[in-house]
Structure 1
C-alpha cells in the first residue's frame, strides 16, 4: 500500500503551485474592494464602467481557460504558465499607466488572458501520485481562499499608500514573483497525468452541460461569482455613504472574512457527518439571501451592513469551498478535467456578468438595486437546488493500466468491477489508465495487481 502522506516532492509541489495560484488570484481580487472608491479620477468613470473594469478579466478568462489547458497538453505546462503570468504582468502595467477607465478595462482584459488555472492544476496532477492528488488540490484551493482574504486586507492598505496605479504595479510584481517560483521551485514533470483527470476534452463539454447535477453546480458558481462581483461594485460606495471612510474598509472586510471562515465550519462538519450536503448547501444560500436583503433594506446603517457582510462571507465561503468537491463527486468517471473546465468557465463568466449587471444596476437603481438583484439570483439558485442530490461518499483513483489489446482492457475492467469496494471502473485504452470510484472497503493493492498483470 502507498504511503498515506505527501512525499517531500509533493509537499514542494503543493506549496509552490499554491503560491503561484494565490499570488495571481490576489492580483485579480485586490482591485475589488477599492476600485469604485479610488478610480473616480479616471476619465469616463461611471458605475457601469466600474463594473466592467472589475469584471473584464472574467470574460477573457472564460474564453481562454479551456484552450490554455489544451495548449499545455501540447507545449508543456510550465511554458504556458509562464506565458500566462507574462500576460498578467503586461495587463497590470497597461492598467497602471491608464488615465481613463477604458484603459483599465483593457488592462484587466489582458490580465484575464493569462488563464493559467487549468495548466496549474494539470501540472499539479502530473507531479503527484493519484492517491495524494486530492490533498494537493485541496491545499491549492485553501490558498485561493486565503488569497481572497488577504486581498481584502492588502488591497485597501496598498491603495491608500501607493494609489490605484501603484496597486496595479503591485499586481504586476506579484505575477513576476510567480514566474520566479515556477522557474526555481516547481519540479519538472517526468510523466503527464491522464487528460481525463486534468484538461477538458471539447467533445465532452456538451455532455457535461446536459448532466442535471453538474448543470446545477455550474449555474451555481456562475451566480455566486456574479453576485460577488456585483456586490463589490456597490458595497464600497455604500459603506462610505453609511459613514465608514474608505481608508478603514479593510477593518471591516478582513475580520468579517476570517470570522465567516469559522462560522462556516459547522456547516461543513454537519453536512459531512450526516451526509446531508444538500441541506447545508440550502442553508448557506438562505444566509446569503438574508445578508443581501439586509444590505438592500438598511443601506445607510453601518452596523447592519457590518453584520450583513459577515453573513455574506459565511455563505460565500461555504459555497465556494463546497462546489469544486461536489463537481468531482458528481462528474462521470474519467471526465474530471472536462467537468472542471465547464465549471471554471462558468465561474469567470459569472464574474464578468456580475460586473456588467452590478455596474448597470448601481447606475440606474442605486446600491439597494444591486443587492436586490443579487437576492433574486440567489433565490433562483435556491430553487434549482430542489432537485439536487446528496453525493455518495466515494473516493476516486486514477491508476496506470498494462494490457495487450482492447479485448484485454475490457476483461480488466470486468475484473476491477468485481473487486470488493469498487462501485465503478472504466479502463481507457487510449490513455492506458483505469478510473475507479470506490467505497471504504476498497483495497488498492488488489486493483494494482489486476492492472499490472498481462495475460
Structure 2
C-alpha cells in the first residue's frame, strides 16, 4: 500500500523531467539560436564607429539603415516562413534561411561601400527563421516542460548579447569590419551544420492538413495579447540600450572596451535568479500569475531607474531586476504562444509573434534614439515604464486556457 501511494509522486517527477530526446533537441536548438543571435548582435556595439573606415560610412542615416534593414526584412518574412515551416517542415525552411543569412554576411564582408552592406543586411533578413526555430522547440517538447526548453532559447539571447559586447571590439580591432562580417558568416555556417545534422529528428503529430489563415491568428485574443507583449518587451530593451551604455560608462568610469565587465555578471546573475520563477510557473501551472508579476516588476524597475541613474551600484541592481523580468518573459511568452495556438497554425502564430518582436526592436531603437537626442535618459526609462504598465493591463485579460494541457 505504501509503495502504491509513493508511485504517483515519482511518476509526477518523471513527467516533469526532460527526456533525453527533449534535452538534446532543446540544447541543440538553443545553441543554434544562440549562434545566430550572436551573429546579429556582433555588429551592434561597434558598427557606428567601424563604418567610418568604408566609403559612405560617415552618413549616419545610411549607417542606421544598414543596422535596421535586417530587422525590417525579418518582420515581413517571419509569417510566410512560419507558415512554410508548418507545411514543409522545420529543418528545410531553417536550412534555407541560414543559407540566405550566410550569403548576406559574405556580401557584407566583400562590400566596397556602405550601400553594399545595406544590400547584404537586407539579404540576411530574408532568412527570418526565429518562428520556425521556436516552433521546432515546441514540436520537440511536451507542454509540461516546454517553458524550461524555451528558457534555454530565451536565455541564449541574453548570453549572446553579453558575448557580443566582449567579442565585437576584439574582432574589429584584430580583423577590421570585413573580418567581423566573415565571423558572422562563419557563425551562420555553424548554425547550418547544427540544423542539418545535429538536431534530432522529431516526429510531428499527424494532424489533418488545414490551411492556416492569418485571420485565424489575428482574431485570437490571447495571441494578440502575447504579440503586444513581445513588441513591448523588445521595444523597452532596445530603447534603454540606447542610453544605458553611456550612463554606466559615466557613472562607473568604464570605457566601451570594458563595459562587458558590467553586462556579463548582470546578465548571468539575472539568468540564474529567473530559473526558480520558471520552475514555479511550470510545476504550479501559474503561467498567468508569472506573466502578470513579471510585467508589473518590469514597470516598477523602469519607473525606479531615473532615481537609480545617479549612482552606479543602484543602477546595476536595477539592471539585474530588469533582466530577471526580461528573461522570465522571454521564456514564458513563446511557450504560451505554442500552448494557446492550435497545432495546425502553431508556426503561423509564432511567425506573427516574431514579427511583433522584430518591429519592437526596430521601433524601440528608433524612438529611444530620438528621445535620447532631445532629452535626458530618464524620459526613455519613463516611456518604458508607461508602456509596461499598459502591457500589464492587457496581460490581465489573458485567459490562460491552453489547447495542449
Place the TM-score, normalised by the shorter chain, in its bin: 0.7 to 0.9
- Residue 227 (structure 1) aligned with residue 239 (structure 2): no
Q: Distance in 1 between matches of 2:130 and 2:344?
A: 19
| Unaligned segments of structure 2, at least 5 residues | 1-10
The partner residue of 1:356 within 358, 363, 366 is: 366
Q: 2:396 aligns to what SS in structure 1?
A: helix
Q: Distance in 2 between matches of 1:7 and 1:380?
A: 39
Q: Distance in 2 between matches of 1:139 and 1:325?
A: 9
Q: Quote the residue 1:433 is aligned against.
A: none
- Residue 174 (structure 1) aligned with residue 191 (structure 2): no
Q: Quote the residue 1:184 is aligned against.
A: 197
Q: Quote the residue 1:419 is aligned against.
A: none
The partner residue of 2:330 within 306, 320, 329 is: 320
Q: Residues 113-124 of structure 1 correspond to what in structure 2 (within 5 A)?
A: 113-121=126-134
Q: 2:254 aligns to what SS in structure 1?
A: coil
Q: CA deviation at 1:10?
A: 5.8
8 Å Cα contact 2:46/2:169 also seen in 1: no
8 Å Cα contact 2:212/2:345 also seen in 1: no
Q: Quote the residue 2:34 is aligned against.
A: 22
Q: Distance in 2 between matches of 1:272 and 1:194?
A: 26
8 Å Cα contact 2:82/2:129 also seen in 1: yes
Q: Quote the residue 1:92 is aligned against.
A: 105
Q: Distance in 2 between matches of 1:251 and 1:196?
A: 52
How many residue pairs are counted as aligned between the two chains? 385
The partner residue of 1:238 within 234, 244, 247 is: 247
8 Å Cα contact 2:153/2:331 also seen in 1: no
- Residue 375 (structure 1) aligned with residue 399 (structure 2): no
- Residue 111 (structure 1) aligned with residue 111 (structure 2): no
8 Å Cα contact 2:235/2:360 also seen in 1: yes
Q: Distance in 2 between matches of 1:195 and 1:238?
A: 53
- Residue 80 (structure 1) aligned with residue 93 (structure 2): yes
Q: Residues 132-147 of structure 1 correspond to what in structure 2 (within 5 A)?
A: 132-134=141-143, 141-147=150-156
Q: 1:371 to 1:85 in 2, by over 3 A?
A: same
Q: 1:108 aligns to what SS in structure 2?
A: helix
Q: CA deviation at 1:221?
A: 0.7
TM-score, with length taken from structure 2 = 0.79
Q: Quote the residue 1:60 is aligned against.
A: 73
Q: Quote the residue 2:5 is aligned against.
A: none
TM-score, with length taken from structure 1 = 0.71
Higher share in strand: 1
Q: Distance in 2 between matches of 1:67 and 1:104?
A: 25
Q: CA deviation at 1:100?
A: 6.4
Q: Distance in 2 between matches of 1:37 and 1:305?
A: 26
| Unaligned segments of structure 1, at least 5 residues | 397-436, 438-455
Q: Distance in 2 between matches of 1:327 and 1:395?
A: 10
Q: Distance in 1 between matches of 2:304 and 2:49?
A: 22
Q: Quote the residue 2:7 is aligned against.
A: none
Q: Distance in 2 between matches of 1:276 and 1:135?
A: 12
Q: Distance in 2 between matches of 1:217 and 1:116?
A: 19
Q: CA deviation at 1:350?
A: 1.6
Q: Quote the residue 1:444 is aligned against.
A: none
Q: 1:387 aligns to what SS in structure 2?
A: coil
The partner residue of 1:216 within 217, 222, 225 is: 225
Question: Which structure has the larger Rg?
Answer: 1
